[in-house]
Amino acid sequence: MSETPEQFGFTDADLATHPTVYAEGSLAGQVVLVSGGAGGIGRATAWLFARMGAHAVISGRSEGKVADVVKAITAKGLKASGHTVDVREPEGVAAFFDTVWAEHGRLDILVNSAGGQFPQAAIDFSVKGWNAVINTNLNGTWFMMQAAARKWRDAGRPGSIVNVVVVTTHGLYGVAHTIAARSGVIGLSKSVAVEWAPLGIRVNCVAPGAIETDGWKVYTPEARAAYPRSNPMMRAGDAWDIAEACVYLGGPTGKFVTGELLTVDGGGQLWGETWTTGKPDYFKT
Ligand SMILES: CCCCC/C=C/C(=O)SCCNC(=O)CCNC(=O)[C@H](O)C(C)(C)COP(=O)(O)OP(=O)(O)OC[C@H]1O[C@@H](n2cnc3c(N)ncnc32)[C@H](O)[C@@H]1OP(=O)(O)O
Ligand SMILES: NC(=O)C1=CN([C@@H]2O[C@H](COP(=O)(O)OP(=O)(O)OC[C@H]3O[C@@H](n4cnc5c(N)ncnc54)[C@H](OP(=O)(O)O)[C@@H]3O)[C@@H](O)[C@H]2O)C=CC1
């Protein structure tokens, strides 16, 4: 990994051919919505679903980024379309789901990959910064989940939700706002997994460890350089690791799985250190 690459992780050309155990074309006819679908993990997930034959509806805030991914996927003869929506705006989210149903008459799987945070000591969080992270990751994910579930309920059709979160179990340093938000999403997902089972809706989470994507640009080169040593495998994961986990839980392979949290972190929750703001002197021995 170079210190300041233009792009971390996969290019669209990589994602078009990266090997997978899943059968190409096996989800033909299905429609999958990936929020944050122009980001590192969301983009890999959209590519994988599209390669499996699904129509990938890709959303994000940046029109240009979304258009670029859609162009790359459709250029390979696969199905994709894009929409600009901020997950923090409930009316915009509801209108977005109206549009998806009007265009496709169905939605089968929702992957919530829109999210992020910035590294800062919790004691220094501003109200605005705290609210930005909670609104994006907890409220935004919830608005998407609820809008999806209402459509499935009203149409009398089953559905499946996968929320991409963060490993919350080991006191991840410098990102307390996101740990609060993601713990909320995990709890919420377990709760509605029960409440929405009668509607035929499954709800699961994937917790990535250190996954090399453009999202890493918000961290210093020193912090990033240590991420590959944050787990016993001594390497970073890649966006395809998370995409394949999302497909497993979201698609028919996960048909008897709901309310589950799948951690994909190379064992980092068991052993390893992650310092998003650098390792403080106090912890150096
Ligand atoms: C072992 C693994 C490593 C750690 C685990 C997680 C890794 C990842 O998740 S990487 C991939 C995720 N991607 C990102 O995190 C993308 C980068 N982050 C963001 O874009 C933002 O943090 C955001 C998600 C909260 C975006 O919200 P937005 O409302 O667009 O945010 P603003 O940039 O407008 O900022 C609002 C407000 O937040 C405070 N703030 C933002 N950045 C910082 C910062 N670097 N330091 C301190 N405070 C920050 C600040 O109060 C901002 O308001 P203004 O001061 O008025 O700008
Ligand atoms: N990479 C990693 O190491 C890890 C990632 N994760 C989580 O996985 C998820 C995906 O991360 P990753 O792909 O790496 O990060 P990226 O930053 O590459 O992608 C995140 C995407 O989220 C979108 N997004 C952010 N805020 C909003 C919003 N308010 N409304 C709509 N879209 C939004 C962004 O789109 P746009 O710029 O167009 O707004 C961006 O494309 C995030 O939740 C992240 O925190 C968790 C653990 C580790």
Residue 2 pLDDT grade (very low, low, confident, very high; cuts 50, 70, 90): very low
Ligand 1: centre distance to CA 214 (Å):
13
CA angle at residue 96 from 90 to 99, to 5 degrees?
150
Long-range Cβ contacts of 70-73 (<8 Å, 24+ apart):
72/12, 72/16, 73/12, 73/46, 73/47
Predicted complex: ipTM over 0.90:
yes
Taking the model in full, what pTM does it have?
Answer: 0.98
Instruction: Look up tokens 């590294």; give the residue.
Output: 119
Distance CA 237, CA 92 (A): 33
* DSSP bridge pairs for 81: 57
Instruction: Give the phi and the psi of residue 258 in degrees, each rounded to 5.
Output: -150, 150
Pocket test for ligand 1, best of 118, 126, 164 (most atoms within 8 A of CB): 118
For 196-253, what is each residue's pLDDT tens digit?
999 999 999 999 999 999 999 999 999 999 999 999 999 999 999 999 999 999 999 9
Q: Measuring from atom 27 of ligand 1, which residue has the nearest CA?
A: 132
Q: Is the CB of 4 under 6 A from ligand 1?
A: no
For 240-273, what is each residue's pLDDT tens digit?
999 999 999 999 999 999 999 999 999 999 999 9
For 87-120, what is each residue's pLDDT tens digit?
999 999 999 999 999 999 999 999 999 999 999 9
Rounded (10°) angle between helices 176-195 and 140-155: 10
Question: Which atom, in ligand 1's list, is nearest to the CA of 118?
Answer: 22
Q: Give me 193's structure tokens.
A: 């997994």
Q: What is the DSSP letter of 9?
A: S
CB neighbourhood size of 132 (10 A) = 17
Q: Measuring from atom 1 of ligand 2, which residue has the nearest CA?
A: 211
Rounded (10°) angle between helices 176-195 and 127-134: 30
Q: What secondary structure does DSSP assign to 215-276, as a single string?
A: GGGGS-HHHHHHGGGSSTT-S-B-HHHHHHHHHHHHSGGGTT--S-EEEESTTTTTS---BT
Superfamily of domain 24-283: NAD(P)-binding Rossmann-like Domain (3.40.50.720)
For 167-195, what is each residue's pLDDT tens digit?
999 889 999 999 999 999 999 999 999 99
Locate the domains of the chain by residue range: 24-283
Question: Which atom, in ligand 1's list, is nearest to the CA of 126?
Answer: 51
Distance CA 261, CA 165 (A): 9
Give the model's pLDDT for residue 215: 96
Ligand 1: centre distance to CA 116 (Å):
6
